[in-house]
């Protein structure tokens, strides 16, 4: 049994697809299938069964998957330790964060630690952050909770983040009474379909307005990056309260009722088998403190 076989098996288990896993790993499907067969021969057990939706883990496969997570984290930790020794960056914290929480959560924690720590920061939406965390490219992520999050992560619940329907200050719906059907008739700027909030928006429009929403603009980042476009047109979007409070969005306003409000739990995530020292523990404590200050400010 080879370590690579276990790591490749882990990727297939997480994607439930040999084709998708092979594409992400940069190997051919036959090579990946051969690797799986080697594992099954080594263990003397079948670890996958095929279904109409892809491949599913057997009972033996689920047990091996848990051990593969541990092997993956061990491999990533060894690589990170060696890379740190070679580059002199040992002790740096590799942190991922969603754009809307940079100002309120990341910056206060990082500012308090700059005298003792170095940071490598990745700014992405939650779905991309979980991929970076899974692959070992970051040590922790400040992101939105999602039922799809892999059980390979631990998390610390931080609080909630409200997301609002937003348009320019003088948008027609800011000036008159409207209903849900009016929202469905508007043009929208929305994040990609793999983002949980986008899925909530689509579901709301389908169930409440009877509309299959097709955005005029789809962006693989927070719609806040397109604030200049939104403030100069009648486009609507969905932004978190933190994003709406930023300088970039000062010409945008939340629409009144009956525009919906979505509440997302936010958390700090890390790999289940990761070993953290005092630096990371301090960072977690500071992020939690920043969230407490954020919540207190919002309630006043």
Mind listing the pLDDT tens digit for each residue in 109-152?
Answer: 999 999 888 899 999 988 889 989 988 899 999 998 876 676 77
Classify strands 261-271 and 140-144 as parallel, antiparallel or unpaired.
antiparallel
Final residue of a domain: which of 38, 65, 85? Answer: 85
Q: Is 68 left (phi over 0), alpha (psi -120 to 50) or beta?
A: alpha
Q: Check: CB of residue 273 under 8 Å from CB of residue 70.
A: yes
The predicted pLDDT at position 96 comes to 97
Q: CATH code at 185?
A: 3.40.190.290
CA distance 144 to 36: 33
More confident residue, 124 or 294: 124
> Which pair of tokens denotes residue 190?
């929305």
| CATH code, 73 | 1.10.10.10
Q: How far is CA 51 from CA 13, 225, 257, in A?
A: 13, 41, 45
Q: Is residue 60 part of a domain?
A: yes
Arithmetic mean of pLDDT, 29-56: 89
**Is 202 part of any domain?**
yes
Is 3 a residue whose pLDDT tops 70? Answer: yes
| Domain limit, last residue, from 34, 50, 85 | 85
Residue ending a domain, among 65, 85, 105, is 85
Could you report the per-residue pLDDT of 152-171, keeping only the tens digit for each? 789 999 999 899 999 999 99
- Cα dihedral sign for 138, 140, 143, 146? positive
In a domain, 96, yes or no: no
Domain total of the chain: 2
Of 98, 198, 111, whose CA–CA distance to 138 is shortest?
Answer: 98
Average pLDDT over the chain, rounded to an integer: 88
Report the run of H or E that residue 124 belongs to, with start and end.
none
In a domain, 70, yes or no: yes
**Within a domain: residue 122?**
no
Q: Indicate yes or no: pTM above 0.75.
A: no
Domain presence at residue 119: no
Domain around 171: 161-264
Distance of CA 83 to the CA centre of its chain: 26
In a domain, 123, yes or no: no
Token pair in block for residue 205: 């429009």
Shared domain check, 174 and 258 = yes
pLDDT digits (tens, 9 = 90+) for 58-96: 999 999 998 888 888 777 776 666 655 444 345 688 999
More confident residue, 134 or 287: 287
Q: Is 248 part of any domain? A: yes
Backbone angles phi, psi at 9, to 5 degrees: -60, -40
The answer to whether 163 and 262 have CB atoms below 8 angstroms apart is yes
% of the chain with per-residue pLDDT over 70: 92
Rounded CA separation 300/298 (Å): 6
């Amino acid at each position: 049994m080879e370590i690579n076989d276990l790591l490749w098996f882990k990727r297939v288990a997480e994607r439930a697809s040999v084709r998708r896993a092979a594409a992400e790993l940069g190997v051919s499907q036959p090579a990946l299938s051969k690797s799986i067969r080697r594992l099954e021969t080594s263990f003397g057990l079948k670890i996958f069964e095929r279904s109409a939706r892809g491949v599913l883990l057997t009972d033996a496969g689920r047990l091996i998957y848990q051990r593969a997570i541990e092997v993956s984290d061990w491999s990533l930790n060894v690589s990170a330790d060696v890379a740190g020794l070679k580059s002199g960056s040992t002790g740096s914290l590799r942190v991922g964060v969603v754009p809307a929480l940079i100002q309120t959560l990341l910056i206060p924690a990082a500012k308090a630690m700059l005298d003792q720590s170095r940071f490598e920061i990745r700014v992405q939406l939650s779905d991309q952050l979980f991929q970076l965390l899974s692959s070992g490219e970051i040590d922790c992520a400040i992101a939105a909770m999602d039922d799809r999050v892999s059980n390979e992560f631990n998390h610390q619940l931080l609080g909630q983040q409200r997301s609002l329907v937003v348009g320019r200050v003088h948008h027609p719906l800011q000036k008159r009474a409207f209903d849900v059907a009016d929202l469905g008739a508007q043009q929208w700027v929305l994040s990609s379909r793999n983002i949980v909030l986008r899925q909530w928006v689509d579901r709301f429009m389908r169930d409440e307005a009877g509309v299959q929403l097709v955005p005029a603009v789809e962006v693989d980042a927070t719609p806040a990056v397109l604030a200049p476009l939104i403030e100069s047109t009648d486009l609507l979007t969905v932004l978190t309260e933190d994003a709406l409070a930023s300088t970039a969005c000062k010409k945008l306003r939340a629409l009144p009722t009956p525009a919906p409000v979505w509440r997302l739990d936010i958390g700090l995530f890390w790999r289940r088998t990761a070993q953290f020292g005092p630096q990371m523990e301090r960072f977690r404590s500071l992020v939690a403190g920043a969230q407490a200050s954020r919540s207190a400010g919002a309630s006043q």
